[in-house]
Amino acid sequence: MGMDFGKVTRRRFLLRAMLPAIAAGAAAGSPRLSGALAAVRSVSVLASTGPGPIPVTLNVNGTAHALRIEPRVTLLDALRERLALTGTKKGCDQGTCGACTVLVDGRRVNACLTLAVMAQGKAVTTIEGLANGEQLHPVQAAFLAHDGFQCGYCTPGQILSAVALIAEKRPTDEASVREWMSGNICRCGAYPNIVAAVRDAAGARS
Amino acid sequence: MNAFRYAQAHDVASAMATVAADPGARYVAGGTNVIDLMKEYVEQPSLLVDITHLPLRAIDASARGVRVGALAAMSDVADHAAVARDFPAVAQALLLSASPQLRNMATIGGNVMQRTRCAYFRDVSQACNKRAPGSGCAAIAGVNRQHAVVGGSEHCICTHPSDLAVALLAVDAVVHVRGRAGERTIPFERFHVLPGATPQRETVLEHGDLITAVELPPSAHARSSYYLKVRDRASYEFALVSVAAALDVTGGTVRAARVALGGVAPKPWRSHDAEAALTGRPATAATFAAAAQAATRGMRGYGQNDFKIALTQRAVARALAHAGGAA
């Protein structure tokens, strides 16, 4: 299933690169000659795939999705444009704003700088995967309770980042929450309410 | 982003052979720098070799220090107890870098290989000798507030963006590299090179060389090291000036000192002048002030970045006071 990356092919350049060493070994009557030849066999150029569409399987919110996409497609674009999971937002598209924050194997990352092909075999969690049916995730509920947004565009990223902050057991005083949420920019400036929501969800004492 | 081929490596030798064989090939691990630069068409590789499946992620602490696998994430190194205890400047520099998301993605090997944040380098419509050799340097007579005050040349006055690299310099880190000729080690001070007439060349690595680990040797000065970062915002911003100070103070006297600077030069900048002004002297404010003065010897501004010289002096004095236990 998917790509067969384990396979390697041999190319002539390697033999050329190794030949002087082999020749030197042979001239000296080295008993290691067979070892050098074995090295040539083991060091090979990797098979590559693309640049056209290739099979990529993504596990998103517990569901496996088989796609055919180019290696250059980011996880963010795959989520939004191929899987119609538009909860994950595209803000700066250069790792600066955090609107695209998702969890990969439980760790928060910027989906805009992640290649979809490199997210294979990992569990991706987006904002669509947080609630349990109609029951909101505690961080989602806290954002509602504290009015932790204005326009809402940064909110999915803020919430995923906050979920990770709590899982990482970071300190929950106000200054620490601001620092550990600094990868998520809010152009509306809803920070006071965002910080309150995160602290509430983390069980911080005020 | 240009279209490219993709290959996944499962052993170091094949990864290295693949990149070495193809001038258009690049390694990708965290991707936080190369993918970003590809979106700007600054980097246009024809082949990306994914090295994230190589067994280079371990962080091993022993009596001989800490050996950090090249693929260890910045966040994991920052959170490692032995790093925080024996190389505090390294942990501090990591935690003052980027964002939690980026630190989860970016690797130690990639961090020291990251390219400059110079706006002219990142904009393909502008002259930049690093990106397009021979095209000129738009920064020298342009917007150069962020640029170098030491170590630059008439061809390039960019600054190196890594916080980690500055701290690694102050704790005498050693880079382990796998190349065509096998394994070799490079002391961190000799890893990066100055731009001179070839700003496109940033390290001593050859195409295809792969960093496998960064070794942190234990020392008294590394144990009492401190990283100070001065920037335009309180968080999530590159340094205007940063200082990694490492001091071994015994009986009130400085036995060993390292002073490394960030944000002021095209490579992580070690000030041997400042270190000479410290070694063998009493660990006092007067000594630190003299060392801070020495650290800026030979610096020159290009107009908008003149302020960095005074800022460097103050930052060095403050970092030394912290490292020396006086602050």
Q: Which of B6, B36, B48 has the CB atom closest to A94's CB atom?
A: B36
Arch. (CATH architecture) of A138-201: Orthogonal Bundle (1.10)
Q: 3-state class of A110 per DSSP?
A: strand
Domain ranges, ordered by start, for chain A: 8-46, 54-129, 138-201
Q: Are B207 and B47 in contact (CB under 8 A)?
A: no
C-alpha to C-alpha distance for B226 and B224, rounded to whole angstroms: 7
**Which residue of A lies nearest to B102 if distances are taken between CA atoms?**
A109
- pLDDT (0 to 100) of residue B327: 44
Q: Which of A13, A46, A182 has the CB atom closest to B9's CB atom?
A: A46
Angle at B37 between CA B36 and CA B39, to 5 degrees: 70
- What pTM, to 2 d.p., does this model score? 0.92
Arch. (CATH architecture) of B5-50: 2-Layer Sandwich (3.30)
Contacts of A178 in chain B (CB under 8 A): 235
For residues A37-50, give the mean pLDDT.
Answer: 73
- pLDDT (0 to 100) of residue B326: 53
Please give the share of chain B, as a percent, with pLDDT higher than 70.
Answer: 99
For residues A128-133, give the mean pLDDT.
Answer: 96
For B150, which DSSP code?
A: S
Biggest alpha carbon distance in chain B?
A: 61
Residue A107 and residue B104: Cβ atoms within 8 Å?
yes
Domain ranges, ordered by start, for chain B: 5-50, 223-323
Inform me whether the C-beta atom of residue A174 falls under 8 Å from chain B C-beta atoms.
Answer: no
- pLDDT (0 to 100) of residue B239: 97
For residue B216, what are the β-bridge partners?
B66
Q: Which of B17, B35, B40 has the CB atom closest to A45's CB atom?
A: B17
pLDDT tens sequence for chain B (327 residues) = 999 999 999 999 999 999 999 999 999 999 999 999 999 999 999 999 999 999 999 999 999 999 999 999 999 999 999 999 999 999 999 999 999 999 999 999 999 999 999 999 999 999 999 999 999 999 999 999 999 999 999 999 999 999 999 999 999 999 999 999 999 999 999 999 999 999 999 999 999 999 999 999 999 999 999 999 999 999 999 999 999 999 999 999 999 999 999 999 999 999 999 999 999 999 999 999 999 999 999 999 999 999 999 999 999 999 999 998 754
- pLDDT (0 to 100) of residue A14: 41
- pLDDT (0 to 100) of residue A20: 41
Superfamily of domain A54-129: Beta-grasp domain (3.10.20.30)
| Of A160, A167, A163, A10, residue with least CA distance to A88 | A160
Arch. (CATH architecture) of B223-323: 2-Layer Sandwich (3.30)
**Which residue of B lies nearest to A118 if distances are taken between CA atoms?**
B50
The yes-or-no verdict on residue A55 having pLDDT over 50 is yes
Inform me whether the C-beta atom of residue A36 falls under 8 Å from chain B C-beta atoms.
Answer: no
The yes-or-no verdict on residue A30 having pLDDT over 60 is no
